[in-house]
Amino acid sequence: MSDKKIIERIKEHHASAVIDSHDFRGDQTVIMKKNCGGEFFKFLRDDPELAFNFLMDITAVDYLSKKDDRYEVVYHFYSLKHNHRLRIKIPVSAEDCNAESITPFWKTANWYEREIWDMYGIKFRNHPNLRRILLYEEFKGHPLRKDYPINKRQPLIGPLN
């Protein structure tokens, strides 16, 4: 399947959830509506022509006042069978700061989603264990948010007994 056909295939099956897409120098990116749901991700994984069976990474971006939706959750997929890649972006507003968990489809999403929750404060609905992974539980705030005060003092925690 050629790179352009990946985007066409997604639009064929989930056109109502596609906001935008581009193909630039072999970089396929599709921007999806936040409510695209688990069926979309299941389609990416299980469709024989796509077969995105490897979740390479999930990250987030804080656009603070540069876009209508403050955050974007960014997924990077790879198909071992077809040797092609895909980036999915999902806009997330500051007011409704959550996205659907994809851990039912890729178990590695568990740690990525926990990291995004810890650093950005984006919650993942239906996540099996959404708790801090890099910082301690008493830590206040989410340090990769662009409005996080860099001089903020955190509560001290003592040794664990």
CATH number at residue 21: 3.30.460.80
Query: How many CB atoms within 10 Å of residue 107?
Result: 11
- In a domain, residue 22? The reply is yes
Total number of residues shown for the chain: 161
**pLDDT tens series, the chain, 161 aa:** 566 699 999 999 999 999 999 988 878 999 999 988 889 999 999 999 999 999 999 999 999 989 999 999 999 999 999 999 999 999 999 999 999 999 999 999 999 999 999 999 999 999 999 999 999 888 899 999 999 998 888 777 766 66
Domain encompassing residue 52 = 3-125
Q: What is the pTM of this model?
A: 0.91
Which residues have a Cβ under 8 Å from the Cβ of 87 and sit 6 or more positions away? 27, 28, 29, 30, 74, 75, 76, 77
Give the C-alpha separation, 85 to 96, whole Å: 29
- In a domain, residue 47? The reply is yes
Residue 18 contacts residue 30 (beta carbons within 8 Å): yes
